[in-house]
Amino acid sequence: MNFNFHEGDASFSQRLLNALEPGTVMPVHRHRHTAETYVLLRGRLKVMFYNDKREITESVMLDAAGDKVGLNIPVGQWHSLEVLESGSIIYETKDGPYAPLTDEDILK
């Protein structure tokens, strides 16, 4: 479930809250035209970075009550996340306009 702060899909700055629960499935994907920033406001999750062979190259634990609460995902970086605590909420930003993921942006 998300709550958008931007005016619409055409906005050049996409800013939103994402409420996430354990079991949330996010495919390994990338954004070829924008970096993406997460700031965890509540809960705990793990963000994983992948190479083109679908191998995890790095994982980062975010904990709203801990030292690491946010990260930047570079343009074109394959990534996904695992929600570790019920009620987790991230503030997410990326450049717009909104572009839905295509098959080319999902790593299978």
Query: Which has the closest alpha carbon to 16: 2, 1, 34, 30?
Result: 2
Third-level CATH fold of 2-97: Jelly Rolls (2.60.120)
- Whole-model pTM: value is 0.92
Beta bridge partners of 15: 93
C-alpha 79/C-alpha 11 separation (Å) is: 23
Q: What is the pLDDT of residue 25?
A: 85
In this predicted structure, the answer to whether residue 41 has a pLDDT above a threshold of 90 is yes
The two tokens of residue 76 are: 């074109």
Q: Distance between terminal CA atoms of the chain?
A: 24
Residue 72 one-letter amino acid: N
Query: Which has the closest alpha carbon to 41: 90, 75, 103, 6?
Result: 90
The two tokens of residue 62 are: 């975010």
* pLDDT class of 68 with cuts at 50, 70, 90: very high
